[in-house]
Structure 1
Amino acid sequence: MDRNALVPVMAVAIVNGIFSPWVLMVFLFYPVWYPAWAPPLSQIVYMASALILSTMTIMLAGVPAALYERWSAQPRSIVVSSIWLAGTVLLTLPALPNVVRALSGG
């Protein structure tokens, strides 16, 4: 797969990590995953939570693309990229109200 195809996938995943309603759940469980030696500043914990959620979005959205690559006789790179991007956009749908709210200034 072309590396340039990952740029939109990563961009959408970052938006999901920042604006998803699930980031609060990851944030609240920080005692489980956050290292004890790091200072528990809320800004740092929030950024790490967003990074974890972005990474999970990329991983989950890549599953259908990987299955297509595995089961297809001759997988095409553009189809793999499209499936991965579609999965990322689908996982980002719950974050859209927060994105709209942030863009409207409200």
Structure 2
Amino acid sequence: MKALAVLGLSLLCVSLASPVPALAVELDQSPYAHDAKIDLLAARTIALRQHAGTITAQELEKESGGSGLRYSFDILTRHGAFEVGVDAISGSVLENGPLTDTAA
């Protein structure tokens, strides 16, 4: 339990060390970035309000539901991993649930 707490604190410190996460570079190169009305920082804030933790993956994608353009975030918490989808036009939460492994 103590090791888990130290790991969590370490991840928090690493995530706070950089105000602009390295993951942001990937989204700036998305072909859809110019269509988004909600910026990446606002979308990350909305997602982290659903599940406080560390964002381990993110993408801006076209997918059905809402406006059709969404940010998708994988968030690791002490309670497990979650996927949160945020509409890139309205900022609405479109998806919020446990992260499932689709690679199987």
TM-score by length of 1: 0.28
* TM-score calculated relative to the size of structure 2: 0.29
- Per residue, is there more strand in 1 or in 2? 2
Task: Give the structure with the larger helix fraction.
Answer: 1
Higher relative CO (CA 8 A, sep ≥ 6), structure 1 or 2?
A: 1
**Which structure has the bigger radius of gyration?**
1
